């Protein structure tokens, strides 16, 4: 059975995308830790990051870095955090989160609900910064 992320990637479930290429996608978290919280997800269903092939791992981190740079410019956080937790969905994903302190990476602080318009507005700010940098995977 396909993971929820595969269903989002395939368009069966709506997602607010900021990046898409042949190896991965990036879309907004529906339970964000902070405004701009983005998930970088491989198209291929891989459960544990330890099982990720080196070339795909490198690509995921490269895309996460590009997203993080865009978030830094768009939201001006103190830092951009990166986390691989992998407990909630059995499909590898990198959390890229604009943060001002370590507490901003605490999943107990995740929003229970965010309006689609808020997600789209944050996504558009990230897309704008990605486009300004000439990134090829912007959707």
Q: Which residues on adjacent β-strands are paired with residue 138? A: 19
Q: What does the pLDDT average to over 62-80?
A: 98
pLDDT value at 37 more than 80:
yes
What CATH number belongs to 4-132?
A: 3.30.428.10
Quote the pLDDT of residue 44: 97
Q: What percent of the chain has pLDDT over 70?
A: 100
Quote the pLDDT of residue 86: 85
Q: How confident is the model at residue 40 (pLDDT cuts 50, 70, 90)?
A: very high
* Segments making up each domain of the chain, as ranges: 4-132
pLDDT value at 48 more than 90:
yes
Long-range contacts, stretch 81-85, CB < 8 angstroms, 24+ apart: 81/105, 84/49
pLDDT value at 110 more than 80:
yes
């Amino acid at each position: 059975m396909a993971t929820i992320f595969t269903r989002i990637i395939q368009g069966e479930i709506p997602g607010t995308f900021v990046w898409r290429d042949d190896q991965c996608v990036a879309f907004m978290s529906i339970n964000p830790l902070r405004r701009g919280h983005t998930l970088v997800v491989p198209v291929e269903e891989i459960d544990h990051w330890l099982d990720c092939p080196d070339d795909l791992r490198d690509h995921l981190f490269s895309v996460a870095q590009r997203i993080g740079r865009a978030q830094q410019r768009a939201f001006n956080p103190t830092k951009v955090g990166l986390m691989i937790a992998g407990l909630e969905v059995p499909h590898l994903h990198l959390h890229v989160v604009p943060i001002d302190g370590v507490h901003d990476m605490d999943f107990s602080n995740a929003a229970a609900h965010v309006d689609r318009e808020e997600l789209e507005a944050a996504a558009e700010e990230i897309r704008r910064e990605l486009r300004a940098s000439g990134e090829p995977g912007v959707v």
